[in-house]
Structure 1
Amino acid sequence: MVEQLTHPEGSKVVIEMWADLGCPWCYVGKHRLQAAIAQRPDADRFEIVMRSFELDPGAPTEPEKNETSYIRTHGGTAAHVHQAERQMQVIARKEGLEYTPDRMNANTFDLHRVVQYANEQGRGSEFFSTVQDGFFTGVLDIHAPDALAWVAELVGLDGRRVREILASDEYADRVRADRDEATRLGAGGVPFVVVDRKVGARGAQKVPAYGRLLDQVAGPVASERAS
C-alpha cells in the first residue's frame, strides 16, 4: 500500500524535474513522467516545471560529435560508444520514441538560460520538451540560436528575446542556483523529480513508478478508489 501525503483534492500539483537537454535518460524519463500524468483523469492538475542541471559544465561551446563527447566524459573507445547508443536506442524505441545516435553535443549552459526565461513566461516545460525531442530525433540543431528562436516562437515565446538572452549572460545565476538546489535535495545526477516538495525520485523511473509517486501526493486515480 502506498502511503498518501495529504493534498487538497483538485488543487494544483507542481512537479519539478531537474534535467539536462542533452541527457538521453532525461529524454526517456521525461516522456515516462508525462505518460504517468496522462493516464490520470485529473491530468490537468499537474504542472511540470523544468529545473536546470548541467551534467557536463566542462563541455566545449562548439558542437562536437556524440562519439567524441562520450569518450571525453566516459572514456572507452568508439565501440563502447556505439554499444551504449544502440542500447539507449532500443530503450527509447520501446517507449515509442525516436532516437538517433548521430548527434552533435556542446555545452548546454546557454540552453538552460533560455529555459529559465521560458519558465518565467509559463512555457518552460513546453519549450524544453520541444527542443529536447527535436535534438534526440535528429531534426533540430539545439545549439543554433535561430533554431532556438524558432522553437520559442512555436510555443508562444518571443524569438527576438531568445536571441538577446543568448547574446548576454542573463539568467546565469538561476541556472547555477537550480543545480545547487538539486544537490542540496540529494540529487547526484539527472533526471531528478520532486513532486510538490513532498516526495522525489532519482533516475528515469518506469511509468508505474512515477504513477505511484503521483498517487502519494495527489491520491490514487478514480478507478483505483473504486476498486
Structure 2
Amino acid sequence: MNEQDTTRPDRPVSVEMWSDLGCPWCHIGKHRLERAIAARPDAERFVIRLRSFELNPDASRTPETIETAFRRSHGGDAETVLRAEKHIQALALREGLSFSVDRRNANTGDVHRVTHHAEEAGRGREFFSLVQDRFFAGDIDPFDPEVLVQIAVEVGLSRERVREVLAGDEYAEAVRADRREGRELGAQGVPFVVVDGRLAASGAQSVDAYARMLDQAVPTVSAGVA
C-alpha cells in the first residue's frame, strides 16, 4: 500500500478480530475495541469483521459446565475455576457487561458457521455479537440450534436457510480457513486483532491500548490532519 493511500482521511480501515464464542476475554476485548473506535471522530471509516477461531474444534457438542471444561484443559480444582470466573466477572461488570458464571460450554462450530452465513448478508458481526452477549448474560443456550435460528431471524436472515446451514456442514471449511489464517498471522489464542492488515495485538487490550493501535494505523487523523 502506498503512502498516499495510507494518509487519505476517507480511506476505509479494516479491523479484523479473531475470536471464539466461549472465550470470556474475547467478549471483553470486543467491547473495548468497539469503545475505542466509537470514541474517534472518524469512527465510521473503521470496518470491523469478526473472524472465526475455534479454541477447541474437537470439543463435544454436548454442553458441560465451565468447571468441567476448564479442568480438562487447564487442570486445577473447582475453587480455582470459580476464582478465575469471579475475577473475569468483576472485570466484565466494570465494563458494563453482563457475565454469568453458570454458563455451559460445548463445540462452537455451528455458531461460527452461521456467522459466516450471516456475513454474506452483512450481518455477521451483528449475529455473533447478539449470541455472545446473551450467552455471557446467561440468557440463552447457543448450543441449541433453534436458539441460533431465532437470533439469525432477529438480524434479518431466513429461518429456513439457517436451518439448512445447521443441518449440514456448510461454511465448515471457511471456519477452518479463518483459524489457519489467524495462526499464520501469529495468533496463538484469542482475541487477536489485526488493524489495516499490518498491525496486530494479542489478548484483550485496554480501551486505551486499542485506541493507540488505531492511531498508529491512521496517524493523520489522530494528528488532526484533514
Provide TM-score, normalisation by structure 1: 0.93
**Residue aligned with 2:213, SS:** helix
- Distance in 1, matches of 2:94 and 2:20, equals 22
1:93 — aligned with what?
Answer: 93
Larger CA deviation: 143-152 vs 30-39: 143-152
2:224 — aligned with what?
Answer: 225
- Distance in 1, matches of 2:148 and 2:107, equals 15
- Distance in 1, matches of 2:43 and 2:124, equals 18
1:211 — aligned with what?
Answer: 211
Residues 7 and 220 in structure 2, CA contact (< 8 A), matched pair in contact too: no
**Residue aligned with 1:27, SS:** helix
Deviation at 1:220, TM superposition (A): 5.8
Q: What's the % identity of the aligned pairs?
A: 55
Residues 50 and 119 in structure 1, CA contact (< 8 A), matched pair in contact too: no
- Distance in 1, matches of 2:122 and 2:116, equals 10
- Distance in 2, matches of 1:189 and 1:111, equals 18
2:31 counterpart letter in structure 1: H
**Residue aligned with 1:166, SS:** helix
1:126 — aligned with what?
Answer: 126
For structure 2, the residue ranges without an aligned partner over 5 or more in a row are none
CA RMSD of the aligned region, Å? 1.5
2:201 — aligned with what?
Answer: 201
Provide TM-score, normalisation by structure 2: 0.93
**Residue aligned with 1:225, SS:** coil
**Residue aligned with 1:6, SS:** helix
TM alignment of 1:78-89, pairs within 5 A? 78-89=78-89
Report how many aligned residue pairs link the two structures: 221
Residues 111 and 128 in structure 2, CA contact (< 8 A), matched pair in contact too: no
2:10 — aligned with what?
Answer: 10
1:24 — aligned with what?
Answer: 24
For structure 1, the residue ranges without an aligned partner over 5 or more in a row are none
2:55 — aligned with what?
Answer: 55
- Distance in 2, matches of 1:109 and 1:125, equals 16
- Distance in 1, matches of 2:220 and 2:138, equals 37
